[in-house]
Chain A
Amino acid sequence: MALIITEEQKLLKDSAAELLKVKSPIYKLRELRDQGYIPYDKSLWNEMVEMGWTALIIPEKYNGLNFGYVGLGQILEETGKTLCKSPLISSCLLSSSIVSLCDNEVLKSKEFPLIMNGNKTMTLAIEENSYHKPFDFKTKTQLKGENYIINGSKTFVIDGSTSDEIIVVAEIGQSEIGFFKVDSKAKGIVIKKNILLDSGIYSDINFNEVIVPIENRLNIKIKGEKLLKDLLTIAYSGLASEMLGIISECFDITINYLKERQQFGVPIGSYQALQHRAAKMFSEIQLCKSIVIKSLQSIDYGDKDRFKYSHLAKAKLGKTIKLVTNEAIQMHGGIGVTDDADIGFYMKRARVLQQLFGDYNFHLDKLALIKKY
């Protein structure tokens, strides 16, 4: 498998870049923030739906485009470049993926059309700690007659307060893991909004005796643990794609600034102290590009090493995004720490993405465990 995107994938990427350049330049993010932390631009979301982005990873059987994760990754990379806010991560990357991975065929036939036409947004409630600990939850369910009863609490839920439905990961009995679809307005659900560094809204959600009809359990026969592992692989690789977009754009903006900004009568980019740091960043970005495409392809092709590649992607991108966003601010000098400059937005989004689904230390630990040391 060549480590390049196909012509089709390139067309998709280019069309995304074009739309986002026009409809979602970075000042849009500032506007959304300044108008009281509006979660995202609804009309842009409708355009994304029209372009088929919500159908990308949905199988043809359900009238999806079956474009795979390399395709979705190209879109996420482009949204990273303009720091575009949308429910793509919560609703498509996470929720559509878990619905797709599960074996509840009735639910798939019912939900996919709603997700694809944008009439419904979903999110995934998984974390219970402020650090990524995906297999450690206290949220429990109990089967009572025809319903499951959920009790527990979740945190760091992306778009938790704006999604129509929430997919909750919870323990069934002692060791089984289940995925449950609940209405975000269901009785017993209390949602607390948190506005984080990237101007995004993330939620703490309490589930108190929440009743879920049995047909809303996503995994019927498939083991929840296996599903969760596959879902996490998708999450790591998808987030790494967005991170690649942020890194690339933030780097390009900074290189341009080095060429324009004059001090001592010359462009500051003529100084070797800055040139070498720029060249080192360029080198790290070369590695980032390779692991992102590799991890996305390995999901689409069911490569047995896909877990490893997704950890490699999230670890490497996490390290590099920290380097590049920090250098970007430093190289911009004083203007870099003002709210007037856009460059700070990249650093802010980067820090949230670093924590989402685990920082590089988490993933380096997993990589070592995979190799048994």
Chain B
Amino acid sequence: METKTDVPLTDFRTETRVWLEGNCPMSMRKPLKDSNDFYWGGRNSKFNSEDQKIWFQRMLEKKWIVPYWETKYGGGGLTPEQNNILTQEMTRLGCRKPIFSFGISMLGPALLKFASEEQKMKYLPEIVQGKIWWCQGYSEPNAGSDLAGLQTKAIDKGDYFEVTGSKVWTSYADKSDYIFCLVRTDFESSKHNGISFLLIDMTYEGISTRPIKLISGKSPFCETFFDSVKVPKENLVGKLNEGWTIAKYLLTHERQMIGGIGETDIKEELHQIALENLPMNKGKLADGIFRSEISNFEMDEEIFDLTIQRVTDEAKTGNNSGALSSFFKYYATELNMAREELIIALSGSDGLVFEHNHKSEGNLARKFCRSKGNSIEGGTSEIQLNIISKRILGLPS
């Protein structure tokens, strides 16, 4: 692998800082308000602003879209230490990610581990260049928590698979170019053993999507229907009927992503919202019960961030358990939901505005509603607790 290990790390930090300061447009250093601020890429990609375009293209030329992938796949070939420094410096400046992509965060790691070299060379550079918008086809109407019970079938028709069935909760399916999909290819063996991992072009004939509106009023989620869709055999990743291994690996990455591992976003401090909204008495929030709830929440939030750091540090010394991703997913989502509950409570009636632009831009109530899905998507809290109790604590079935 090509790396730049010959450059000492302190020099790398200085160079990185200088480069980011010179190249990241000011508007790309402001916190993201919602998913409309993301750049998603894709065949019909459009930038929301000139700055967004400049930022993406500069990062692409610098090979820092996926800085830690090998250069032959379009990555920057950075060492983990260099990548950490880049992440820290981006956080320090508040730089937005140049692209938001399930291709980078979820599919990429799975392809790197399970795909053929040919598949890696075909798909990974496209992910880096933002040419393909990927979505994930996992859950089905009757296979949510019991994911391995999925029924979308792929019948071997000689030179292609014929895929029929439906997927649900496919984020951005209506905008995506490709879907990575779990399908059943063996109907005889036990449910975990008959699953395969297929890459399907969303423009193939027989695919349709329907958005699902959530309690928050809008949603990136869709239902995706497959009606005798012909999928080339070469789109199979890994071995036939061994897709569950890939699925589990990918779920770990999804949990880590939701759990905040490697995340750089800066959250507003909760007590600041309280200070803006509630009266004080002798240097303390006058409402003592509210104050104690906030303090308790901020304690957990701050220590959770330290825990991400600790487990990352332990992983570097080889002490890591993949099952910990369930803990991170569980705890991060519970914290976020507690945060949204507190924000809406702290904001009083202002926090309830759903449609009209008011003090809070009508955002709080929608974010609050959206957070209710956190403990469900990506494996419910209950599923995560099951995994912790079985895989980490070794409690019997």
Interface check A267, CB cutoff 8 A: yes
Binds B, one of A86-94, A196-204, A362-370: A362-370
Whether B306 and A367, one on each chain, are in contact in the complex, defined by CB atoms closer than 8 angstroms, is no
Whether B299 and A290, one on each chain, are in contact in the complex, defined by CB atoms closer than 8 angstroms, is no
Whether B285 and A269, one on each chain, are in contact in the complex, defined by CB atoms closer than 8 angstroms, is no
Q: How far is it, in angstroms, between the C-alpha of A364 and the C-alpha of B288 when the chains are bound? A: 11
Chain A residues closer than 8 Å to B385, beta-carbon distance: 275-276, 279-280
Within A276-310, the residues touching B (CB, 8 Å) are 276, 278-280, 282-283, 286-287, 289-291, 293-294
Q: How far is it, in angstroms, between the C-alpha of A279 and the C-alpha of B396 when the chains are bound? A: 13
Q: How far is it, in angstroms, between the C-alpha of A267 and the C-alpha of B393 when the chains are bound? A: 14
Q: Is the interface of B mostly helix, strand, loop or mixed?
A: helix
Q: How far is it, in angstroms, between the C-alpha of A371 and the C-alpha of B275 when the chains are bound? A: 11
Whether A290 and B393, one on each chain, are in contact in the complex, defined by CB atoms closer than 8 angstroms, is no
Within 8 Å by CB of A371, from B298, B394, B397, lies B298
Q: Known: A4-B313, A289-B310, A371-B271. Contact between A312 and B393, CB under 8 A?
A: no
> Nearest Cβ in chain A — how far from B384, in angstroms?
8
Interface check A110, CB cutoff 8 A: no
Chain B residues closer than 8 Å to A372, beta-carbon distance: 275, 283
Chain B residues closer than 8 Å to A368, beta-carbon distance: 271, 284-285, 291-292, 294-295
> Nearest Cβ in chain A — how far from B396, in angstroms?
5
Q: How far is it, in angstroms, between the C-alpha of A290 and the C-alpha of B313 when the chains are bound? A: 11
Whether A364 and B314, one on each chain, are in contact in the complex, defined by CB atoms closer than 8 angstroms, is no
Within A1-45, the residues touching B (CB, 8 Å) are 2-4
Q: How far is it, in angstroms, between the C-alpha of A287 and the C-alpha of B328 when the chains are bound? A: 11
Chain A residues closer than 8 Å to B291, beta-carbon distance: 368, 373
Whether B299 and A315, one on each chain, are in contact in the complex, defined by CB atoms closer than 8 angstroms, is yes
Residues of A within 8 A of B (CB): 2-4, 255, 258-259, 266-267, 269-270, 272, 274-276, 278-280, 282-283, 286-287, 289-291, 293-294, 312, 315-316, 319, 361, 364-365, 367-369, 371-373
Residue of A nearest to B293 (CB): A364
Whether B284 and A276, one on each chain, are in contact in the complex, defined by CB atoms closer than 8 angstroms, is no
Between A and B, 17 residue pairs with Cβ closer than 8 Å are A3-B310, A255-B393, A255-B394, A258-B395, A259-B394, A266-B396, A287-B303, A290-B307, A294-B310, A315-B299, A316-B299, A364-B295, A367-B295, A368-B271, A368-B294, A372-B275, A373-B275
Q: Known: A258-B395, A364-B292, A371-B298. Contact between A290 and B314, CB under 8 A?
A: no
Q: How far is it, in angstroms, between the C-alpha of A368 and the C-alpha of B302 when the chains are bound? A: 13
Once A and B bind, how many residue pairs between them come within 8 Å at the CB atom?
121
Chain A residues closer than 8 Å to B304, beta-carbon distance: 287
| Contact digits for B252-296, partner A, Cβ 8 Å, 1 yes 0 no | 000000000000000001010011000010011100000110111
Interface check B392, CB cutoff 8 A: yes
16 additional A-B residue pairs with CB within 8 Å, beyond A270-B396, A293-B310, A294-B306? A2-B316, A4-B313, A258-B395, A269-B395, A275-B385, A275-B390, A276-B382, A279-B385, A279-B388, A279-B393, A286-B327, A294-B310, A367-B298, A368-B271, A368-B295, A373-B275
Q: How far is it, in angstroms, between the C-alpha of A283 and the C-alpha of B311 when the chains are bound? A: 13
Residues of B within 8 A of A (CB): 269, 271, 274-275, 280, 283-285, 291-292, 294-296, 298-300, 302-304, 306-307, 309-311, 313-314, 316-317, 324, 327, 330-331, 382, 384-386, 388-390, 392-397
Whether A369 and B284, one on each chain, are in contact in the complex, defined by CB atoms closer than 8 angstroms, is yes
Q: How far is it, in angstroms, between the C-alpha of A255 and the C-alpha of B395 when the chains are bound? A: 8
Q: How far is it, in angstroms, between the C-alpha of A129 and the C-alpha of B392 when the chains are bound? A: 43
Whether A283 and B327, one on each chain, are in contact in the complex, defined by CB atoms closer than 8 angstroms, is yes
Whether B389 and A276, one on each chain, are in contact in the complex, defined by CB atoms closer than 8 angstroms, is yes
Chain B residues closer than 8 Å to A286, beta-carbon distance: 307, 311, 324, 327, 331
Residue of A nearest to B388 (CB): A279
Q: How far is it, in angstroms, between the C-alpha of A293 and the C-alpha of B313 when the chains are bound? A: 12
> Nearest Cβ in chain A — how far from B378, in angstroms?
16
Residue of B nearest to A371 (CB): B271
Q: How far is it, in angstroms, between the C-alpha of A248 and the C-alpha of B265 when the chains are bound? A: 32
Within 8 Å by CB of B330, from A270, A272, A283, A291, lies A283
Whether B396 and A3, one on each chain, are in contact in the complex, defined by CB atoms closer than 8 angstroms, is no
Chain A residues closer than 8 Å to B331, beta-carbon distance: 283, 286-287
Chain B residues closer than 8 Å to A369, beta-carbon distance: 283-284
Whether B303 and A272, one on each chain, are in contact in the complex, defined by CB atoms closer than 8 angstroms, is no
Q: How far is it, in angstroms, between the C-alpha of A367 and the C-alpha of B285 when the chains are bound? A: 13
Q: How far is it, in angstroms, between the C-alpha of A274 and the C-alpha of B306 when the chains are bound? A: 28
Chain A residues closer than 8 Å to B384, beta-carbon distance: 279
Residue of B nearest to A269 (CB): B395
Whether A373 and B284, one on each chain, are in contact in the complex, defined by CB atoms closer than 8 angstroms, is yes
Chain A residues closer than 8 Å to B295, beta-carbon distance: 364-365, 367-368
Whether B393 and A282, one on each chain, are in contact in the complex, defined by CB atoms closer than 8 angstroms, is yes
> Nearest Cβ in chain B — how far from A12, in angstroms?
17
Q: Known: A364-B292, A373-B291. Contact between A2 and B313, CB under 8 A?
A: yes
Chain A residues closer than 8 Å to B390, beta-carbon distance: 275
Q: How far is it, in angstroms, between the C-alpha of A259 and the C-alpha of B395 when the chains are bound? A: 6
Chain B residues closer than 8 Å to A291, beta-carbon distance: 303, 306
Q: How far is it, in angstroms, between the C-alpha of A230 and the C-alpha of B331 when the chains are bound? A: 32
Residue of B nearest to A366 (CB): B295
Whether B309 and A290, one on each chain, are in contact in the complex, defined by CB atoms closer than 8 angstroms, is yes
Chain B residues closer than 8 Å to A266, beta-carbon distance: 396
Whether B396 and A269, one on each chain, are in contact in the complex, defined by CB atoms closer than 8 angstroms, is yes
Q: How far is it, in angstroms, between the C-alpha of A278 and the C-alpha of B296 when the chains are bound? A: 21
Residue of A nearest to B308 (CB): A290
Q: How far is it, in angstroms, between the C-alpha of A3 and the C-alpha of B310 when the chains are bound? A: 5
Q: Known: A4-B310, A276-B385. Contact between A282 and B300, CB under 8 A?
A: no
Q: Known: A279-B388, A290-B309. Contact between A259 and B294, CB under 8 A?
A: no
